[in-house]
Structure 1
Amino acid sequence: MTVGGDLIAPPSEDAEVTSGRRWPRPGWFVAIGYLIGAFWVYGRFWPGLGHRYLTDSGQDQTQWEWFFAVTAHNVAHLHNPFFTTLLNHPLGVNLMANTAMLGLGVPLTPVTLLFGPTVTWALILTLGLAATATAWYRLLRRHVVRSWPAAALGGGFAAFAPPVISHANAHPNLAVLFVIPLIIDRLIRLAEGGAAVRDGVILGLLVTFQILLGEEPLLLAATGLAVFALGYGLARPDRARTAIAPLAKGAAVAAVVIAPLVAYPLWWQFTGPQSYRSLLHGPAGNDVLALTAFASRSLAGDRATAGPLSLNPTEENAFFGWPLLILVAVLVVWLWQVALVRALTLVIVVAMAFSLGPEIVFHGEKTGLIGPWKLVSQLPLYESVLETRFTLVCVPAIAVLLAFATEKVVTLGALAPWRGAPLRLVWGVALAEALLPIAPKPLLAADRPATPAFFSRGLWRHYAAPGHTIVTVPLPDSGEATAMHWQVVAGLRFSIAEGYFLGPWGSDRQGVYGAVPRPTSSLLGRVRDGHVAAAVTPADVQAARDDLVFWRADAVVLGPHDQQEPLRVTLDRLLGPGAYVGGVWVWDVRSITHAGGGD
């Protein structure tokens, strides 16, 4: 099979035969190489896994481990997998409206229950990167190139490019993307006249699985595929006309499969408790210089250079490096007559343009130039996307281009042996200069602070009944979610107030990170940020009592914190003297909440 008849079809068997002897399939060795590469990326995390933390993940590793833990908890106790009140009690959290990655969290429940969510987190990230590279390798080998080294190069770039490695710190939904090439494989099969029913059913199951892994990468992939189809259709209208009918038949079958499987999860996501209409965020486009710069964890990069050009270390969504972009430009000029290359070029240009946001920014300064993202930013679904992430769409397009160009070099060398060696040498040097600077360094990891004995040794049971609420101070949010880890260590046997999740804000249900803060959580947040104990008023005391009743709290707990003293003084003023137990300060508030109807 080929992409639009532009290429010579690769062999049907991924094996080499020499002198009658069948050698092992190179795909196995390529997959093992990808796995070694993935362990290299997480080489500082795996040793001492039980107490290690990916430094650049911010609060996201804690959040993801909590997602995996609560998913396993729901499965084990036959609870609704799409909702929980263990966080943000009593309102709860809509797990389907968050990036809980249920498609892997549910089947890995035994791993989570036996070994803990950190192991699940590490396995999904490490094996997911390797699986993503392998899936792209198989797609390229089957539909684009005959040469397995060319396919291996493309697959490796698709999974280990700087934008993906940045997300590999904290966002498995945007780094573990092995289903996307499987979807593309089925679309190509359908376009080439494959079995509409068989391939359509498989396509429908794959899309359903991807919805349960992450809807945002599916939307990004669909956008890239639509742009590719437009570009390829303009370059080869004859092939486009031939592909429309079989694609339509297969898509209809896929829709019949998808609809009943995702109807209830999507209904819960968009209309269920704690659902939201769209995610609220400001402009988040790439600085133009981010396209040509080097990422923090690339061999040629550093945090001082990359930091000012990105939102944070987990959102370094461009950073392809200027040598690679020059190489891509040269390849486009050289191979422009190939319809595949023209379509890939359109994808790269459109995705990069979208990633620049509604107003072009250069070196941190707004230019006043309106970007094309302005035209689509308010469309349904797109209004919730961080536009900087559109450079993720460029990654597979560049991967295919590199694989195709490598195959072309090999083919030209075979046609003219006398110049084959020099041509391969020049190409090897060009690849080294473009790809070595952006090769990933191991992600940073450090030891995690020990969980206080109050939680790890079960001392909390003397202050809160199972299933009741412990209010942890500072209340967890996107900036500080350690309490969610303590809750996991304690076996999720109590609920906590507020938290780090996506939920609704206001009557129009705008999506925000975290809970709508109560007066007491706002007061304690100001103390945390201002480093000074609050001058508490009678109104503050009454608000605290009302909030504790709302949260149905049995205890308020202040754990180790660099602002522990001003927070403790403030809580003493609100609730009376606390007790130091198991490494934390505790205020037993059952007399308040039970009297107020909180039990």
Structure 2
Amino acid sequence: MSHGRGLPEASTDDRRPGSGAPALSVVVPAYNERDRLADTLDTVTAHLDAPESPWDGWEIVVVDDGSTDGTAGLVTAREDPRVRLVPGARNRGKGHALRLGVAASRGRRVLVTDADLATPITELAALDDALGAGHAAAIGSRAVPGATIGARQHRLRELLGRAGNALIRRTALPGIRDTQCGFKLFDGDRARAAYAASRVDGWGIDVEVLRQLRQSGLSVAEVPVRWSHRPGSKVRPLDYPRALAEIVRIAARSLRPADVFAVLLFCLMSMALYSGRLFDPAHRYLPDSMRDQTQWEWFFAVTADNVAHLRNPLFTDLQGFPDGVNLMANTVMLGLSVPLTPLTLTAGPAVTLSLVMAVGLAATAAAWYRLLVRRLVRSRVAAFTGASLAAFAPPMVSHAHAHPNFVVLFMIPLIIERALRLCAGTRVVRDGVVLGLMAAYQVLLGEEPLLLAALGMLLFAAAHAAVRPEVARASWRPLLRGLLIGASVCLPLVVYPLIWQFHGPQSYTGIEHNPRTFNSPLALLSFAERSWLAGDAARADALSFNTTEQNAFYGWPLVLLAFAILVLMRRRPLVRSLACTAVAAAFLSLGREFRIPLTDLTLPGPWRLLADAPVFEAVIESRVALICAPVLGMLLALAVERLLSAPPRTRWTGLAAVALALLPLIPAPLRAVDRTEVPAFIAEGTWKAYVRDGESLVPVPLPDPGDAEALHWQTEAGLGFRLPGGYFNGPYGEERVGIYGAEPRFTSNLLRDVGASGVVPPVEDSWRDQARADLAYWRAGVLVLAPQPHADALRETVRRLVGSPGRWVDGVWVWDLHGPGRP
């Protein structure tokens, strides 16, 4: 009979129960333990021979791991036949010794204990009770409530042990607090099978064996014990990196092929989406990003420049000169742009942005997959399907054009999982601290996604509390306590950046968005432009305000499928809670008011309750529908898992329906075109002869959200000159209302209008005076006009303003404002 998926069958020789086997085998690995072993053997023997001892038969198996101090002779000199020696020719490590000792054991129970007996043998009874309750193994733990620690080990050794323990719990053995204990009791047959299947010779064998038991579906209990450090430890300094290497190998061996395959598929899906730009990012452009790709490359470039020159990463005057840009009030993703500074300085911001978008999207999908596997479904196929929808849903693909803050969302699933841990109430302090650190990092990746995630979790919590009130009553206290702890950790870390964002130079209050920043109910049922088989560019454009903000467009087949899942699985409270969350988020995304399709009836929308609230006033309400992507992914995962275990006819019919609903949503690769060449005047450095220290280079017209190509000039020139105007969020007027771009001036408005219309206006003296004042304000060193539509009208307008026809230099018209033509 097999004892689990990962273990071989236990031996059936004469050491098995029923063949005269003892009740207990005590296995002691020993290497040069002559000074401590005698007392240990005497103590264990006396305890097991005591009149009140429940053990009707026992043995002690000492494994000599190549000792050179006479340890073996100490054991063989004892006259008790129940104390046996398993000799070793040379020192091969604790793991090898334990494998030999457990293989030689015969007991119905097997106790593994270190030779120092740091955990007293009297604690054996508590571990035996745990096995009597149905567990396959029991650990004498120092880390669970009720444990006591006497003499402590050296501080450095203790810190190294904690670091190793943390690594083990994160990678190889989650859920076990004391992974390095030296006092464990096993069911005998399962111990012999697990140790026989082990491969580690060193200190990592404890992790390997416990992990095998867990993967075989067997439970492991942690029992609080008394523990006290004993001098004479055999753990040497080099043993720590060796143990680390063993743990890494254990974790790598135990990876499920399906998990590795899922991550590889996510990477391939992301690469396919970005295939048009991924392999030549410096010379390819995503036109549907409009000016956003240029803006984000500039964000990465200026952050790297600030870090390299030890300047404040929250501010720059390279754009919007001379007032500058509050970078914290713009989503520059300091959590990635700062650590990726070496890459940006070496390979350029275009490469950094391309890597962040492609890898970040795959990492986000992998994070959703991890959450689904750990918390929702066991089926890897179901988890992959749900995670694919969560990360590659049409709204996410829309943002994939040029919004890394809405694509790189790998922290959001981690935050959700940590919040779920808080609800369990087992490690509230630790989980609260970790949640606070995660939230602080997400603030530096993107505040709006964190706000939307919090809103989604709040909607789910409200729905689930209504569906499962008993769960809510049991969870709200530890959850609230953990959230308060998380806030106390997060706020000190982000308080300075947030103060700078809302009250620092060039901060603003709220921002005016496009008046179409709401979803039509029809958008939720329609297909996005980049949907490969069903994309409808004209309809998507009519129902959204640009290609990067198609925040709904889940398609009517997926909506019908979600409704069918709700109907067929309505008995599951989780399904009802998720459905309520999706409906609430979709409803909120309709804005302050919405019109019922095919009618003239307009109803008030629930968003009006939040629209003017602090923080929410800056949110584009159509983005609330992004919450639906992971929620629908979770519903889909639950449905697929149920279908996979259904009778064949139901299974294939249901999976066909899932495929038909998802097939129209498969995204086409993002469109990419050759990038506009940077004028030689900029690319070859000719500009340096025209711009002095403290001056700016003024493109004609000035860069703004409608045309930000000058930002690309600036990054190609190594950020060597400053620009007035630009594409960023900044204040306007005395009320400091947020706008896109720099605060307009007379001359910038004039040049923009001429560039758009091609009409040369009559230039009056007052206009020249205003142009003189504006150029002085911008500290302009040179005006530069590149070839573009209506270039002749722009050149004539500038000639009338400054009184000079300009010069053709290296592919552009130039007005040197240091010469006689300066106004």
Deviates more, 1:551-560 or 1:189-198: 189-198
2: CA distance between counterparts of 1:489 and 1:364? 51
TM-score by length of 2: 0.68
Deviates more, 1:191-200 or 1:355-364: 355-364
Q: Secondary structure at the match of 1:44?
A: helix
1:453 equivalent in alignment to 2:686? no
Q: Secondary structure at the match of 1:260?
A: helix
2: CA distance between counterparts of 1:239 and 1:440? 39
2: CA distance between counterparts of 1:76 and 1:463? 26
1:32 equivalent in alignment to 2:264? yes
What's the offset of the Cα at 1:465?
Answer: 2.1
Could you say which residue in structure 2 is the equivalent of 1:54?
286
What's the offset of the Cα at 1:160?
Answer: 0.3
Aligned length: 576
1:321 equivalent in alignment to 2:548? no
Match among 407, 413, 428 for residue 196 of structure 1: 428
The amino acid that maps onto 1:52 is: R
Q: Secondary structure at the match of 2:275?
A: coil
1: CA distance between counterparts of 2:362 and 2:254? 26
Could you say which residue in structure 2 is the equivalent of 1:228?
460
Could you say which residue in structure 2 is the equivalent of 1:5?
none
Could you say which residue in structure 2 is the equivalent of 1:561?
788
The amino acid that maps onto 2:324 is: G
Could you say which residue in structure 2 is the equivalent of 1:284?
517
- Where does 1:81-96 land on structure 2 (aligned, <5 Å)? 81-96=313-328
The amino acid that maps onto 1:173 is: N
- Where does 1:317-396 land on structure 2 (aligned, <5 Å)? 317-361=551-595, 367-396=601-630
Q: 1:444 to 1:365 in 2, by over 3 A?
A: farther
Could you say which residue in structure 2 is the equivalent of 1:588?
816
2: CA distance between counterparts of 1:408 and 1:526? 60
1: CA distance between counterparts of 2:446 and 2:786? 34
Contact 2:596 2:602 in 1 (8 A): no
- What CA deviation, in whole Å up to 9, does each residue of 1:300-347 have, x standing for no partner? 113122111111111111111111100000111112222211211111
Q: Secondary structure at the match of 1:496?
A: coil
1:541 equivalent in alignment to 2:764? no
Could you say which residue in structure 1 is the equivalent of 2:234?
none
2: CA distance between counterparts of 1:343 and 1:111? 44
What's the offset of the Cα at 1:204?
Answer: 0.8
1: CA distance between counterparts of 2:806 and 2:520? 49
1:180 equivalent in alignment to 2:407? no
2: CA distance between counterparts of 1:548 and 1:42? 41
Match among 753, 759, 762 for residue 526 of structure 1: 753
Q: Secondary structure at the match of 1:319?
A: coil
1: CA distance between counterparts of 2:406 and 2:312? 25
- What CA deviation, in whole Å up to 9, does each residue of 1:338-384 have, x standing for no partner? 22112111111111111111121456986422211122211111111
1:133 equivalent in alignment to 2:365? yes
2: CA distance between counterparts of 1:33 and 1:134? 10
Q: 1:74 to 1:404 in 2, by over 3 A?
A: same
Contact 1:56 1:169 in 2 (8 A): yes
Q: Over the residues paired in the alignment, what is the CA RMSD in angstroms?
A: 2.0
Contact 1:41 1:441 in 2 (8 A): yes
Gaps of 5+ in 1: 1-10, 414-419
Could you say which residue in structure 2 is the equivalent of 1:513?
740
The amino acid that maps onto 1:349 is: V
The structure in which a higher percent of residues are helix is: 1
The amino acid that maps onto 1:471 is: V
Could you say which residue in structure 2 is the equivalent of 1:302?
536
1: CA distance between counterparts of 2:596 and 2:278? 38
Contact 2:702 2:724 in 1 (8 A): yes
2: CA distance between counterparts of 1:252 and 1:368? 41
Could you say which residue in structure 1 is the equivalent of 2:303?
71
Match among 59, 80, 84 for residue 312 of structure 2: 80
- What CA deviation, in whole Å up to 9, does each residue of 1:446-487 have, x standing for no partner? 001100011111000110025520111111111100001001
Q: Secondary structure at the match of 2:444?
A: helix
2: CA distance between counterparts of 1:350 and 1:292? 16
1: CA distance between counterparts of 2:693 and 2:676? 25
Deviates more, 1:356-365 or 1:549-558: 356-365
Could you say which residue in structure 2 is the equivalent of 1:210?
442
Q: 1:57 to 1:283 in 2, by over 3 A?
A: closer
The amino acid that maps onto 1:112 is: T
Contact 1:468 1:553 in 2 (8 A): yes
Q: 1:201 to 1:351 in 2, by over 3 A?
A: same
The amino acid that maps onto 2:528 is: A
Contact 2:640 2:655 in 1 (8 A): no
Q: Secondary structure at the match of 1:405?
A: helix
Contact 1:359 1:367 in 2 (8 A): no
Could you say which residue in structure 1 is the equivalent of 2:274?
42
Q: 1:270 to 1:428 in 2, by over 3 A?
A: same
1:109 equivalent in alignment to 2:336? no
1:570 equivalent in alignment to 2:803? no
Could you say which residue in structure 2 is the equivalent of 1:241?
473
Contact 1:102 1:213 in 2 (8 A): yes
Identity over aligned pairs, percent: 49
Could you say which residue in structure 2 is the equivalent of 1:3?
none
Match among 390, 413, 416 for residue 158 of structure 1: 390
2: CA distance between counterparts of 1:364 and 1:505? 39
TM-score by length of 1: 0.93
Contact 1:16 1:24 in 2 (8 A): no
Match among 271, 276, 289 for residue 503 of structure 2: 271
Contact 2:516 2:544 in 1 (8 A): no
2: CA distance between counterparts of 1:439 and 1:181? 22
Q: Secondary structure at the match of 1:586?
A: strand
2: CA distance between counterparts of 1:64 and 1:230? 37
What's the offset of the Cα at 1:279?
Answer: 1.3
2: CA distance between counterparts of 1:364 and 1:582? 57
Deviates more, 1:584-593 or 1:371-380: 584-593
Q: 1:30 to 1:173 in 2, by over 3 A?
A: same
Deviates more, 1:244-253 or 1:306-315: 244-253
Could you say which residue in structure 1 is the equivalent of 2:330?
98
1: CA distance between counterparts of 2:542 and 2:215? 49
Contact 1:132 1:178 in 2 (8 A): yes
1:551 equivalent in alignment to 2:788? no
Q: Secondary structure at the match of 2:276?
A: coil
1: CA distance between counterparts of 2:462 and 2:421? 18
Q: Secondary structure at the match of 1:360?
A: strand
What's the offset of the Cα at 1:24?
Answer: 3.9
2: CA distance between counterparts of 1:354 and 1:143? 27
- What CA deviation, in whole Å up to 9, does each residue of 1:156-213 have, x standing for no partner? 1110000000000111111211110000010111111231222112111110111111
